[in-house]
Each structure stands twice: as structure tokens, then as C-alpha cells.
């Protein structure tokens, strides 16, 4: 094995070890995370940290989540092969890519048009054809595509948004961080039953806030020549 291959194999082994030691034990989730190269979703100076178990900055002042948190959230969501999943908060697209290997179709939305555009390019490059992404305010969900088997929110709201609860199928699961944006939040799992919703608290987490409305900050407008 040549040196670069060896480096890659070692990095991948360390990456998977970090996931397991943080409690990611579901074989399907580990397999998906082994197959999706996080390096494809991190740009510029942070690219070399792509295989470290830490959140990293992406464009528009947002972050790509820590891999072990992605693993734990995916595991809690327990996506099934025939499921249609909604992700709120596309960000880099990494989480959506993992989900795309585990279910039939993934809808993912972000309020930053630029992030959606860049994530779409990566999905295309990796041949992930079952991800449909939109620039939209995800706090309202996607009424036209609802209901969903699973909903994953990767930005923190103070409470589970009503429209998302309403767009969950009976028997469906939603995983989301809740709490004030400047404090430690709690990751919760909501299961919709015939008669209502069951809530389970999973662990403390820290996410960027779920912000209402589309973002207008597309960065500085390029100047003409
Ligand atoms: N899942 C991402 C990380 C998400 S960071 C990944 O794998 O890289 C949280 C994202 O939520 C940010 O990109 C932010 O723009 C987005 N976001 C915040 N509020 C939103 C809203 N109301 N609707 C859609 N996206 C939102």
C-alpha cells in the first residue's frame, strides 16, 4: 500500500474509533459514515481537520457538526430503508449524505441559498441522487412533501416547531436539539403515536440556532472589473 493510501486508512480507522468510543454502535450508521468522505464537505484551511471528531466552520458563519454527534443523531433517528426523511439545516450537506445511504429519499432545506447550492454540487459529485435540497425556512417544514417518516433538525429551536410535529407520520420519529441558543441545549427524540407525541431526552448538545426566515447575507457582492 502506498503512503497516501496508508494515511487514509489510518485516518479512517481513527475516525471510526472516535465514533465508537462516543457510543455510535449501530453497524448501518458506522458503515454509512465510513462510506461518506467528510473531507468532501469541508473546504479551505479546515479541510485537513475533516477526520477529527470536532465541529468545523463552513460558509455563512455556520458549522458542520461533530461526527460523533452526527452518528448519535442518526442512530437515534433510526432511519429505515423505505423512509422519506426531512432534514432541517443542510449546512455542508454531510448529515444529509449519511442519511441518503440509509433511507429511500432525503429532503434537506437551509435558509442560506449559498449553502444549498454548494451542498448540491457535492451531492452531484458523489452521485447521491436521492437527496432533494431546497432553500427554504425549515421551521415550516415542507408541507408539499409531508408527511415524513423521520425528521432531523440540526439547528436548535426553543421548542419543537409545531409545523414539523404536524408533518411527522404516526409512528414517525423526529430528533432535534432544543433550548436557548447561547446555552447548552438538549437533544430530544419525539415519537408520534396514535394519540399524541412521546418525548425522550437524549443528551446535552450545542448547535447554531434555528432562525426564522431566509438569510439575506449571501456575502459581499462581487465587484465588476
Ligand atoms: N447538518 C449540517 C450542519 C447544520 S448547521 C451539516 O451536516 O453540515 C445548521 C444549519 O441550519 C445552518 O446551515 C443554518 O443556516 C441552518 N438553519 C438555521 N435556521 C434555519 C431555518 N429556519 N431553516 C432552514 N435552515 C436553517
- Domain limits, the chain: 3-223
Q: Which residue has the cell 414539523?
A: 164
User: Which among 140, 115, 126 has a CA at the least distance from the CA of 35?
Assistant: 126
Q: Active-site positions? A: 65
- pLDDT at position 223 is 44
Index of the ligand 1 atom closest to the CA of residue 139: 22
154 touches ligand 1 (CB under 6 Å) = yes
**What fold characterizes domain 3-223?**
Rossmann fold (3.40.50)
Index of the ligand 1 atom closest to the CA of residue 58: 8
Ligand 1, atom 13, residue with closest C-alpha: 91
Q: What separation in Å is there between the alpha carbon of 90 and the centre of ligand 1?
A: 5
- pLDDT at position 6 is 85
- pLDDT at position 3 is 82
pLDDT beneath 50: ranges in the chain: 220-225
137 touches ligand 1 (CB under 6 Å) = yes
- pLDDT at position 69 is 97
Q: 151: how many CB neighbours lie within 10 A of its CB?
A: 30
- pLDDT at position 182 is 77
Distance CA 121, CA 127 (A): 10
- pLDDT at position 116 is 98
Query: Are residues 178 and 159 in contact, defined by beta-carbon separation less than 8 angstroms?
Result: yes
Q: What separation in Å is there between the alpha carbon of 108 and the centre of ligand 1?
A: 9
Distance CA 137, CA 127 (A): 26
Which residue of 38, 91, 96, 118 sits with most ligand 1 atoms within 8 Å of its CB, as the best mutation to test the pocket? 91
Index of the ligand 1 atom closest to the CA of residue 89: 11
Q: Are strands 105-110 and 131-135 parallel, antiparallel or unpaired?
A: parallel
98 touches ligand 1 (CB under 6 Å) = no
Q: Rounded to two decimals, what is the model's pTM?
A: 0.95
Ligand 1, atom 25, residue with closest C-alpha: 110
Q: What separation in Å is there between the alpha carbon of 145 and the centre of ligand 1?
A: 19
Which residue of 154, 176, 205 sits with most ligand 1 atoms within 8 Å of its CB, as the best mutation to test the pocket? 154
Distance CA 88, CA 146 (A): 13
Amino acid at each position: 500500500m502506498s503512503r497516501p493510501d496508508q494515511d487514509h486508512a489510518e485516518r479512517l480507522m481513527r475516525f471510526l474509533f472516535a465514533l465508537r468510543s462516543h457510543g455510535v454502535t449501530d453497524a448501518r450508521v458506522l458503515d454509512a459514515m465510513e462510506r461518506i468522505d467528510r473531507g468532501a464537505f469541508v473546504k479551505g484551511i479546515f479541510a485537513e481537520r475533516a477526520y477529527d471528531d470536532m465541529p468545523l466552520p463552513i460558509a455563512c458563519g455556520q458549522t458542520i457538526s461533530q461526527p460523533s454527534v452526527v452518528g448519535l443523531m442518526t442512530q437515534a433517528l433510526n432511519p429505515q430503508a423505505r423512509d422519506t426523511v426531512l432534514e432541517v439545516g443542510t449546512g455542508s450537506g454531510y448529515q444529509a449524505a449519511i442519511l441518503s445511504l440509509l433511507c429511500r429519499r432525503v429532503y434537506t432545506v437551509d435558509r442560506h441559498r449559498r449553502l444549498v447550492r454548494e451542498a448540491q454540487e457535492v451531492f452531484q459529485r458523489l452521485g447521491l441522487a436521492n437527496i432533494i435540497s431546497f432553500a427554504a425556512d425549515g421551521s415550516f417544514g415542507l408541507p408539499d412533501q409531508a408527511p415524513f417518516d423521520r425528521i432531523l433538525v440540526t439547528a436548535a429551536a426553543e421548542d419543537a416547531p409545531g409545523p414539523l410535529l404536524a408533518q411527522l407520520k404516526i409512528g414517525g420519529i423526529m430528533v432535534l436539539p432544543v433550548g436557548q441558543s447561547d446555552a447548552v441545549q438538549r437533544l430530544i427524540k419525539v415519537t408520534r403515536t396514535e394519540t399524541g407525541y412521546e418525548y425522550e431526552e437524549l443528551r446535552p448538545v450545542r448547535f447554531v440556532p434555528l432562525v426564522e426566515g431566509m438569510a439575506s447575507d449571501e456575502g459581499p457582492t462581487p465587484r465588476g472589473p
